[in-house]
Amino acid sequence: MLGGEIARNRYGEFLVARQWYSSPERCGADTEVLRLLLSANSELTEWELQRAADPEKWLLLDTETTGLVGGTGTYAFLIGLAWWESGGIRIEQLFMRDHDEEHSILLELADRLAERPVLVTFNGKCFDWPLLQNRFRMTRQIATPAFAAHLDLLHPARQLWRLQIGSVRLTELEQYVLGAESLGWSRRNDIDSSRIPEFYFEFLRGVAIDGIAGVFHHNRMDLRGLAALAGRIFRMLSQLEGGEQEPLELYAISHLLNRRGECSKARRVYERCLSMKLPEPIARRARNEAARLAKRERDFGRATELWNELASSSEP
């Protein structure tokens, strides 16, 4: 039912399930967009940035765990990995059938990161990777893998779509941003993610296997959703001039550019926002930011014009 096979390394056996899907197609990336998405305090050199912008070096990761609070008693019992291969996406799921298989799946993860050293996650900086770091340390035998960069797409997703849809859970992004009907898979039969630890413990007790099969399916959809989200973000940010962004998306992009110090680009995108129909409170913020940036570029005439528009719009 799990569709896996037994794999072995020097620490013993574990279960691995492998699938290949034709979608989502490979993400296009460039250094300019990647620089925007990485944290502001990233210290990658230009050469390292170019290397990290190669999707062939990316390893998408999503874990399923025995709890959501972390700590020494929380295990990542299923480590889902994905990468683009042969025109589609390869998914590999490393499953710990019992606690004594933890060393073997962690070693396998370390080997995969050595091959593809750019980690791509959704909330991985706050949850998945700190948890895995802790598990590596607790083995006292397997060194915590180093990677070239960590691209956590939760943070840009918040910046780009929180105004538009509120919740930026991956399932919400699939439905309202990526377009659930066009993705090639459906969440209709997905499990309740809050029950994932329960399903694993049932598997350990030999009570039922249906639940853990649902966890595997859920993990695969999360990985495919992560891949589709990466493609959407990179396409949107690389097509600022000719793209077909929604007004609130465009405002969010201008705000992101502004925060990253790309002031001239931010100003152009703010101006484009003002030609579209924005909610009035957002339009006022966009006009104020555009005026401030115009002043910074010593375009005092345009700055004055924008501030006059603000003043007149606030009059009864």
pLDDT at site 41: 63
Cα separation, 242 vs 219, whole angstroms: 35
Residues 53 and 60 sit within 8 Å (Cβ to Cβ): no
Going from the first residue of the chain to its last (316 residues), give the mean pLDDT of each consecutive group of 10, the final group possibly shorter: 86 95 86 82 78 91 87 89 93 96 96 95 92 94 91 93 91 88 81 93 88 94 94 88 80 91 91 89 92 94 93 67
Cα separation, 189 vs 131, whole angstroms: 28
Residues 122 and 226 sit within 8 Å (Cβ to Cβ): yes
pLDDT at site 71: 66
Cα separation, 280 vs 27, whole angstroms: 35
pLDDT at site 316: 43
pLDDT at site 134: 93
Domains parsed from the chain with CATH numbers? 5-238 (3.30.420.10), 247-313 (1.25.40.10)
